[in-house]
Amino acid sequence: MLIRNLIFWLSTKRGVTDRIARHGMKNGFARRFVAGESLAEALAASQELCSHGRNVSLNHLGENVTSEAAAREVCASYIQMVEELHAKNLNGNISIKLTQLGLDIDKELCRSMAREIAARAAALGRAIEMDMEGSVYTDVTLDIFESVQRELGNCGLAVQAYLYRTEKDLHRLAPVKPKIRLVKGAYREPKDIALQKKSEVDASYQKLTTLLLEGAAKGTFLPAIASHDWNMVAHAQAEAARLKLDKSRYEFQMTPCELLVCFAQPACRIGQRIPPACNLAVCTKPRGWLAPCTIPSSRNRSCDSWHGSPLHRPPSSPDGSPLEPGPLL
């Protein structure tokens, strides 16, 4: 627990994560978690995934800017991401973090930049998604999301299964017919607002999956099931079959750890299990890469722990020998 707290604290220190990321990219280990330091690298990774029939969702890692100038820089880079995706004719979208757009400085500033990004995407016929961050931001994220989605209609939002409030939030959002990315939740939250046990989070995830897929059947939600937990994926697939949902009415999302690169390779056994309607999240700029990959609490184990999981064998070739990491990471 102490070590997890230390890692959590370190991950909030930009100088530390920048250094880890720099060395990590140089030495290769961070490449398992992020597609590249630059937009060009992320686009190259995206091109490869798209050539294998996947959609991508581009994301800048890192959170919480402290100046308006920094927020505007991030805003411009998100717009550039959408434009580049479009120029290269790549299937996919971008996912924004509101704390990178000045949420800590001024809610209206943040809303106007989120709107600007969504408007540019809409002009290109594309969509954006908004990440959900720690619980201090839940209300304001919902407000900004709701207003931009109501006006432009091309936004998706992540919601967290570990929060008690999420079902109520989904009922609130239903009228704007949103795309909803369902995640277990990656932040350490107190027990009065969030489920603490993996079994409870999993049960909540499955319940919300059913709610979202039933909503999809009625045209209320476009659910994106974002989990690497095959029990969650299997539950969603079973519910989609029960509801006779067309594959265009829901999707799966995963992040491109090294196993997911293998998913793009037809020879990979595990790859055969990847859901056909799967978007892969591709991250640029490794700053903060610890956050999505190793911060998750014990119920949200890290990419590293994947290797030890009896449920999820490491990617291997048809003869059982381990696969080399693919060219992407």
Ligand X SMILES: Cc1cc2nc3c(=O)[nH]c(=O)nc-3n(C[C@H](O)[C@H](O)[C@H](O)COP(=O)(O)OP(=O)(O)OC[C@H]3O[C@@H](n4cnc5c(N)ncnc54)[C@H](O)[C@@H]3O)c2cc1C
The answer to the question of residue 138 lying near ligand X (CB under 6 A) is: no
Extended strands (E) in 162-246: 179-183, 222-226
List, by residue number, the catalytic residues. 131, 181
Question: For ligand X, what does the binding mask look like between residues 288 and 327, x meaning CB under 6 A?
Answer: ----xx--x---xx-x-xx--x--x---------------
Residue of 160, 204, 209, 294 interacting with ligand X (CB under 6 A) = 160
Buried b (16+ CB within 10 A) or exposed e, 250-269: bbbbbbbbbbbbbbbeeebe
Q: In the complex with ligand X, which residue's Cβ is closer, 87 or 193?
A: 193
What are the two backbone dihedrals, phi and then psi, of residue 173, each rounded to the nearest 5 degrees?
A: -80, -20
Residue with tokens 């920048």: 18
Q: For the CB of residue 230, give the shortest distance to ligand X in the complex, in Å.
A: 7
**DSSP character string of 235-294:** HHHHHHHHTT--GGG-EEEE---HHHHHHTSTT-TGGGGS-SSEEEEEEES-TTTHHHHH
Q: For the CB of residue 193, give the shortest distance to ligand X in the complex, in Å.
A: 13
The answer to the question of residue 274 lying near ligand X (CB under 6 A) is: no
What are the two backbone dihedrals, phi and then psi, of residue 151, each rounded to the nearest 5 degrees?
A: -75, -45
The answer to the question of residue 64 lying near ligand X (CB under 6 A) is: no
The answer to the question of residue 229 lying near ligand X (CB under 6 A) is: yes
Report d(CA 291, CA 55) in Å as an integer.
23
What is the token pair recorded at 11?
């991950």
CA torsion angle 328 28 305 263 (round to 10): 10
The answer to the question of residue 141 lying near ligand X (CB under 6 A) is: no
Report d(CA 68, CA 160) in Å as an integer.
28
Residue 316, classed as helix, strand or coil, is: strand
Stretch that binds ligand X, among 36-44, 60-68, 226-234, 283-291 (CB under 6 A): 226-234
The answer to the question of residue 131 lying near ligand X (CB under 6 A) is: yes
Q: In the complex with ligand X, which residue's Cβ is closer, 69 or 311?
A: 311
Q: For the CB of residue 122, give the shortest distance to ligand X in the complex, in Å.
A: 21
The answer to the question of residue 228 lying near ligand X (CB under 6 A) is: yes
Residue of 186, 236, 268, 291 interacting with ligand X (CB under 6 A) = 186
Report d(CA 15, CA 18) in Å as an integer.
5
Q: In the complex with ligand X, which residue's Cβ is closer, 70 or 270?
A: 270
Q: In the complex with ligand X, which residue's Cβ is closer, 259 or 264?
A: 259
Give the interface size with ligand X as a residue count (CB under 6 A): 30
Q: For the CB of residue 62, give the shortest distance to ligand X in the complex, in Å.
A: 13
Q: In the complex with ligand X, which residue's Cβ is closer, 121 or 161?
A: 161
Residue of 184, 235, 285, 287 interacting with ligand X (CB under 6 A) = 184
The answer to the question of residue 132 lying near ligand X (CB under 6 A) is: yes
Stretch that binds ligand X, among 65-73, 80-88, 179-187, 320-328 (CB under 6 A): 179-187
The answer to the question of residue 226 lying near ligand X (CB under 6 A) is: yes
Q: What angle do CA 250, 252, 258 make, to 5 degrees?
A: 165
Residue 162, burial from CB neighbour count under 10 angstroms (0-12, 13-18, 19+): buried
Contact between 89 and 126 (Cβ < 8 Å): no
The footprint of ligand X (CB under 6 A) covers 131-132, 158, 160, 183-187, 226-229, 232, 253-255, 257, 259, 281, 292-293, 296, 300-301, 303, 305-306, 309, 312
